[in-house]
Amino acid sequence: MAPIAWKGIIAAYGEFLPPLATKVTLHEGGTPLVPSSWLEGRLGRPVWLKLEGSNPTCSFKDRGMTVAVSQAAGDGARGVICASTGNTAASAAAYAARAGLSCSILLPAGAVARGKLVQAVAHGARVLTVEGEFEEILGMAVKMAAEEGYALVNSLNPFRLEGQATASYEICDALGRAPAAVVLPVGNGGNITACWMGFLRYHAAGRITSRPRMIGVQAEGANPLVRGSPVVRPETVASAIRIGRPASWKGAVEAVEASGGRFLQVSDEEILGAQRALAAEGVFVEPASAAAAAGALHLQGAGLPDGDIVCILTGHGLKDPDAVRMAEPWV
Ligand code: AN7
């Protein structure tokens, strides 16, 4: 038998990615797609969990980061910079370390999960905590990138989205078809934009014959895309999606509208309940990811076409031990 050699998304899906002279990889992607008996029981159809916490730094960000940092290294950038609610920081720090580039990270003060801060520091990133809303901090990162000759590796970077589109390719390859719906948490809207782009590409290439509805889930206290207007001082237990003014607003709306999907919102209580239900079937995810599963429950009787539902569980539960501690005070 030939050895199984998964060498990351650039090796697997290079034909769908921009050409890259330098490749910086930790063999990301190739993540499990596992059935959820909990959600299947509730929704009466197959529901799959795409475990993005199984990536090298424990979130989907690694798919985008391998492409963005490869491009930055090939361009001869001095280093990389990003603003982050946590996962982007850890991923940027790891891929920059892999590439031998410096990494600067701007984090919202007091709003980043411990696990992620630890990862960024372990990989040698320069971490600056800044007071302010995420969009202001992102604005600072954009400015510093231009002034210091750093590559910005937030999802405003189009190479990030190219890489993140590979989650869609993997889902279609694993199922042998497109699902009826894809449910994912939405903060800045980069990932829903990227995943929809991926389904469009696979459809255009003849790899799938239908396209899924894209269901974007937000937290009630951070629901700009559900309301249709920005939220001042967003608040939710799901720190990754505590975003009041999404950077990829347009792309997210386009994905939902063009696919016939919708945005929906879930309460913090629903999020923590879904986190516990997933953990009870062996899958531990961070609150933002649990929001997707909580959102999937809202699809009961929503008139979706027949077929599979896929929840993209974007990040690992170990990111934020404090979220569990809140729900289970004896931990
Ligand atoms: C686990 O790390 O924005 O809608 O700075 O970490 O593309 O913003 C993280 C976002 C969902 C939302 N789930 O994705 C960051 C950051 C998890 C996340 C999202 C994030 P977007």
Confidence at 328, pLDDT banded by 50, 70, 90: low
**Top CATH class, 61-157:** alpha beta
Confidence at 236, pLDDT banded by 50, 70, 90: very high
Answer for the pair 154, 138: CB distance below 8 angstroms, yes or no.
Answer: yes
What are the pLDDT digits (tens) for 114-171?
899 999 999 999 999 999 989 999 999 999 999 999 999 999 999 999 999 999 999 9
Distance 29 CA to ligand 1 centre (A): 16
For residue 106, give the DSSP letter. E
pLDDT at 327: 64
**Closest C-alpha to ligand 1, atom 8:** 188
pLDDT at 330: 63
**Closest C-alpha to ligand 1, atom 11:** 185
Q: Domain locations in the chain?
A: 9-59+160-326, 61-157
pLDDT at 323: 79
**Closest C-alpha to ligand 1, atom 5:** 84
Give the atom of ligand 1 at the shortest distance from the alpha carbon of 89. Answer: 2
pLDDT at 331: 57
Hey, what amino acid is at 32?
P
Residue 54 has pLDDT above 60, yes or no: yes
Give the atom of ligand 1 at the shortest distance from the alpha carbon of 319. Answer: 1
- The residue among 306, 237, 248, 246 whose CA lies nearest residue 276 is 237
- The CATH architecture annotation of domain 9-59+160-326 reads 3-Layer(aba) Sandwich (3.40)
Ligand 1, CB within 6 Å, residue ranges: 59, 84-88, 155, 185-191, 240-241, 286, 288-289, 314-315
pLDDT at 75: 96
CA distance 86 to 47: 28
Hey, what amino acid is at 272?
L
Distance 155 CA to ligand 1 centre (A): 9
Distance 130 CA to ligand 1 centre (A): 18
Same fold for the pair 9-59+160-326 and 61-157: yes
What are the pLDDT digits (tens) for 184-218?
999 999 999 999 999 999 999 999 999 999 999 99
Phi, psi of 65 (to 5 degrees): -70, -35
What are the pLDDT digits (tens) for 79-96?
999 999 899 999 999 999
- Largest Cα–Cα separation, the chain: 57
